[in-house]
Amino acid sequence: MKKYCSIYFSAVVSLLMMACAGDEDYYLKDLDTHERSILSYSVPGQIGVPLFTKTATESKVVVFVFAGSDLTAVKPDIQVSYKAKVTPASGDVVNFTSGGNHVKYTVTAESGETREWDVEIREFSFDLGGTWRVVNHQYYYHVAPTETWGWTGTKNMKDKLPTASAADDDTFQFELTGATPEGNVYGTFVHHAGDDGKTATYIYSKSSVDFGYKFKKLPATNGTWELNFATNTITFNKGQATSAVSLPLEWLDGKQTLVIPFHPGTIDPTGDQDWDSEEIRYSTKFWYTLSKSE
């Protein structure tokens, strides 16, 4: 008997849920959506991701392309809000040169309300280009993060790893060679070892332990790079054994200073109470600070 009651109860609940869903559809069927946004905008040869601005007074999209791109017959792919329509439509050919590199779009919501969007195409500026000089090389640590007596700090790499000072006169030169179908840019770089002819190594001053396995991320000579705009990260020597992916880049001083951070890998404390060594082993982030010299 209990079995049949259970089946009957389940059937009743299911019917009630279907009825409620039907009622909801009934009451919502005459409600129109008011959203009228451009959600995505892409063009052939686009570099990076678009910049979107949406305020009470401004609706704008900025797209970047290489210098010399043909802007007279651009065929964009556009996605707009649910049940909204855009004019000119996605896939319609537009001429950006006739409007000073701007095209006006009108997005109409299902409710009939409209919003005008300004789409601008700008020439891509290669901020990474040129020669960069190493001005700092530091790491951040958090010793015993699960303990109340743990501590944190930031130190210069060479304070505990003197051989890392070889990086102090190093320079990097970045050259742009192309872009991926996803809009990432890539190229080559040259790592100059400086007047001393040496690149950084990471030998601990007290015990001669080599911490290169944590900090040896930047290639010692030349190689390739790829900049991912979506994640704001750079990959060195992609697809190779020496490949290294940065954490998100930090641009400072009007993009005249660049911080390239990395994750040093797994924390590996020894518990030997050599606290200088533990700070290195508990490092959670390290970085190169570069200053543009050319």
Predicted pLDDT of residue 122: 95
Decide if 38 contacts 117 (C-beta within 8 A): yes
- Confidence (pLDDT) at 270: 83
pLDDT at position 7 is 54
**Same domain (yes/no): 143, 118:** no
In-domain check, residue 80: yes
The overall average pLDDT reported for the chain is: 90
Mean pLDDT calculated for residue range 142-154: 94
Look at the chain and report how many structural domains it folds into. Answer: 2
Whether 13 maps to a domain, the answer reads no
pLDDT at position 126 = 92
Least confidently predicted of 25-34, 62-71, 148-157, 196-205: 25-34
Q: Do residues 136 and 114 share a domain?
A: no
Q: What pLDDT score does 9 carry?
A: 55
**Higher pLDDT among residues 58 and 19, named by residue:** 58
pLDDT for position 32: 72
In this structure, are 62 and 201 located in the same domain?
A: no
Between 27 and 118, the more confident residue is 118
User: Would residue 23 count as lying in a domain?
Assistant: no
- The whole-angstrom separation of Cα 193 and Cα 186 is 22
- Whether pTM > 0.75 for this model: the answer is yes
Per-residue pLDDT at 242: 84
Q: Supply the range of the domain harboring residue 189.
A: 130-292
**Domain shared by 158 and 88, yes or no:** no
- With a cut of 60, say whether residue 25 has pLDDT above it: no
pLDDT in tens, 246-263: 999 999 999 999 999 999
